Chains A and B, each alone.
Chain A
Amino acid sequence: MSNIIETEGLSKQYGNVYRVKDVDLSVPEGAIYGFLGPNGAGKSTTLKMILGLAKPTAGEIAVFGKQVNSKNRLENLKNVGSLIESPSYYGHLTGEENLRIFQTLRGVPKQNIDEVLKIVRLENQKNKKVSQYSLGMKQRLGLASALLGYPKLLILDEPTNGLDPAGIQEMRELIQSLPQKFGMTVVVSSHLLSEIDQLATRVGIIREGELVYQDSLTKLHQYSKQHLAVRTMNNEVTKSFLSQNGVAWEAQDDYLIIPQIKDSMMAEISKVLGQNNIGLVRIEERKKSLEDIFLELTGTAVSL
Chain B
Amino acid sequence: MKAAIRMEVLKTRGRKIWLVVAVMMAVQLLWAGWTISNKDADDLIQGWMFFLYQFPMLNCIIMPVIAAVVASRLSDVEHQGQTFKLLETIIPANRIFDAKFIWGSIYMLGAALGQLAIMIGMGFALHFGGPVPWGALAGYLFFTVAVSLTIYAFQQVVSMLVPNQMVPMTLGLVGGFIGLFSMFFPQGFQKLILWSYYGVLMQVGMNWDEATRAVDFYWTAIDWSGFGLILVFFGLVYGIGRVLFVRREV
Contact = CB atoms under 8 A, between A and B. Distances in A.
A147 to B, nearest CB: 13
B89 A77 contact: yes
Given A53-B250, A93-B13, A101-B11, A106 B83 contact: no
B87 interface: yes
Contact of B14 (A51, A92, A100, A130): A92
A214 to B, nearest CB: 24
A85 B10 CA distance: 25
A106 B90 contact: yes
Contact of B89 (A53, A55, A97): A53
Contacts of A74: 89-92
B192 to A, nearest CB: 35
Interface string A40-64: 0000000010011111000000000
Contact of A91 (B3, B81, B88): B81
A84 interface: yes
B42 interface: no
A48 B84 CA distance: 12
B143 to A, nearest CB: 35
B7 interface: yes
B4 interface: yes
Query: How many A residues are at the interface, by size bracket?
Result: 20 to 34
A90 B85 contact: no
Interface string B83-121: 111111111100000000000000000000000000000
Nearest to A104: B3
B15 A92 contact: yes
A77 B89 CA distance: 7
Nearest to B77: A90
B249 A54 contact: yes
A102 interface: yes
A281 interface: no
B15 to A, nearest CB: 7
Contacts of B7: 101, 104-105
A165 to B, nearest CB: 25
B96 to A, nearest CB: 9
B80 interface: yes
A89 to B, nearest CB: 5
Contacts of B77: 90-92
B39 interface: no
Contacts of B15: 92
Given A90-B77, A92-B14, 20 more contacts: A48-B85, A53-B250, A54-B250, A74-B89, A74-B90, A85-B82, A88-B81, A88-B85, A89-B81, A89-B83, A90-B11, A91-B80, A93-B11, A97-B10, A101-B7, A101-B11, A104-B7, A105-B4, A105-B91, A107-B3
20 contacts: A52-B88, A53-B85, A53-B88, A53-B89, A77-B90, A84-B85, A87-B82, A88-B81, A88-B83, A88-B86, A90-B11, A91-B81, A92-B77, A93-B14, A101-B7, A102-B86, A102-B90, A104-B3, A104-B6, A105-B3
